């Protein structure tokens, strides 16, 4: 069966319940000034490593956060560039629709062709507005070279007011996509 006396005991306990003393004696570090200075230098070294690791951790975390923000910004800029390119490509199509409706209105202002063109233009304008395309309203406004391109002048009693739009201008939010081609008022100088 099982005999307890034959099992080697790695941690022998005395009869009074105390363990055996280790073979090496541990001395009090305060008795040895060299030991104290060694322990202090090791502790300082450990704190230095800990501070270095913490600093590296913070830098790495900041770098990752900056990378995340830059990725989001780059993605948004790419989306905006693509959206701008697509909208620029659609501007001649919009111009063609406007030319078509003008021609159809001369022929039959209340005819089915005009109604169809108007419906198509309204749908197209609605979809393009969802993508941020805004038509530059110019008639009656003061001429603004930032948003208007003057292609002609007409005499009027007021100077520098947009009288007609020859070709619509567009912007995406506040960014100019294409200036409006306009006819601007000009006060006629007497004697000329």
DSSP E strands, the chain: 133-135, 148-155, 162-167, 170-172, 175-178, 180-186
Q: What is the pLDDT of residues 87-109, one digit of tens each?
A: 999 999 888 888 888 888 888 88
Nearest to 152 by CA among 115, 105, 186, 104: 186
Q: How far is CA 166 from CA 51, 95, 139, 157, 172, in A?
A: 69, 10, 11, 21, 20
Q: How far is CA 99 from CA 77, 83, 150, 157, 167, in A?
A: 33, 25, 20, 30, 10
Nearest to 134 by CA among 188, 81, 87: 87
Q: Is 140 left (phi over 0), alpha (psi -120 to 50) or beta?
A: left
Q: What is the pLDDT of residues 57-79, one digit of tens each?
A: 999 999 999 999 999 999 999 99
What is the pLDDT confidence band of residue 147, given thresholds at 50, 70 and 90? very high
Query: Which of 3-12, 60-69, 139-148 holds the top average pLDDT?
Result: 60-69
**Is it the case that residue 178 has pLDDT exceeding 80?**
yes
Rounded to whole angstroms, how far apart are CA atoms 98 and 144? 23
**Is it the case that residue 47 has pLDDT exceeding 80?**
yes
Rounded to whole angstroms, how far apart are CA atoms 178 and 192? 35
What is the predicted pLDDT for the residue at 25? 53
User: What interhelical angle do 33-107 and 112-130 show, nearest 10?
Assistant: 170
Rounded to whole angstroms, how far apart are CA atoms 77 and 3? 81
What is the predicted pLDDT for the residue at 148? 93
Rounded to whole angstroms, how far apart are CA atoms 59 and 52? 11
**Is it the case that residue 133 has pLDDT exceeding 80?**
yes
The rounded mean pLDDT for the chain is: 83
Instruction: Return the percentage of the chain with pLDDT > 70, whole number.
Output: 82
pTM: 0.60
The least confident of 32-36, 82-86, 118-122, 174-178 is: 32-36
What is the predicted pLDDT for the residue at 114? 85
Q: What is the pLDDT of residues 24-46, one digit of tens each?
A: 555 565 567 788 888 888 888 88
Average pLDDT over residues 8-13: 50
Rounded to whole angstroms, how far apart are CA atoms 145 and 179? 9
Nearest to 139 by CA among 185, 92, 93: 185
What is the predicted pLDDT for the residue at 68? 96
With H, G, I as helix, E, B as strand and everything else as coil, classify residue 175: strand
Nearest to 120 by CA among 97, 149, 99, 152: 97
**Is it the case that residue 14 has pLDDT exceeding 60?**
no
């Amino acid at each position: 069966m099982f005999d307890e006396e034959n099992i080697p005991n790695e941690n022998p306990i005395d009869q009074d319940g105390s363990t055996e003393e280790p073979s090496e004696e541990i001395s009090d570090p305060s008795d040895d000034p060299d030991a104290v200075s060694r322990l202090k230098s090791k502790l300082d070294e450990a704190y230095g490593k800990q501070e270095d690791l913490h600093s590296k951790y913070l830098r790495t975390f900041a770098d990752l956060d900056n990378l995340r923000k830059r990725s989001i910004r780059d993605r948004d800029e790419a989306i905006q560039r693509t959206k701008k390119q697509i909208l620029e490509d659609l501007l001649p199509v919009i111009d063609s629709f406007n030319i078509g409706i003008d021609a159809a209105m001369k022929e039959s202002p209340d005819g089915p062709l005009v109604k169809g063109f108007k419906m198509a233009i309204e749908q197209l304008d609605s979809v393009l507005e969802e993508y941020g395309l805004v038509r530059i309203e110019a008639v009656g406004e003061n001429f603004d070279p930032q948003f208007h391109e003057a292609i002609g002048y007409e005499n009027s009693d007021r100077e520098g007011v947009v009288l007609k739009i020859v070709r619509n201008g567009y912007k995406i939010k506040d960014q100019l996509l294409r200036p409006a081609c306009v006819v601007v008022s000009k006060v006629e100088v007497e004697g000329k």
